[in-house]
A = this chain, B = another copy of it.
């Protein structure tokens, strides 16, 4: 059964799914979607995802979108392949789910806005909105303070083992590490060590390679 991932190598959401596929050592076909020409807003893509955003995953006859839903599917469907990404123990699984939600609701809510301003907009020749950056900086710093405390008691953000709760952070951490905001992570020793650890994983390094072409 063939797996096909539709996306752009530079899309953080597509990278999120891609690193999950790499952790699971799955073969997949990558179908490039040309965002610059608006291919994601037209047929046939819009029939795969009515919201007109990448990524979309097809696994046999199943079509899925929303990156965090897709990684959850990959983690469960291919539980026995590659790196375990969700614990089997129901209590540990519930804690991972809590921190998956924290990534989405608190970390990403601030960090992806900063990444959009400082990384995406300059590439598109759009002016940076410094007031947005300033407003989100305080929010991100508060989240990272809580992460520092969490990571002083727990090796990974979702518990003692690497999981989707860590993996989901990778694309935006990688993006912000190309900006002055790297310092915000590095100022916190446990956060800094955690970033270094998860960014060094072979699966993530493979995804970084795909961004260079």
Residue of B nearest to A95 (CB): B64
A101-B66 in contact (CB<8A): yes
Interface size of A by CB at 8 A reads 29
Nearest CB in chain B: distance from A95 CB, A: 7
- Selecting from A25-33, A102-110, A193-201, the interface stretch reads A102-110
Known contacts A76-B90, A105-B66; is A149 also within 8 Å of B98 by CB? no
A192 within 8 A of B: no
B102-A64 in contact (CB<8A): no
A213 within 8 A of B: no
- Selecting from A67-75, A175-183, A204-212, the interface stretch reads A67-75
Starting from the known contacts A50-B150, A69-B98, 4 additional A-B residue pairs (CB-CB under 8 Å) come to: A66-B97, A66-B105, A76-B93, A104-B104
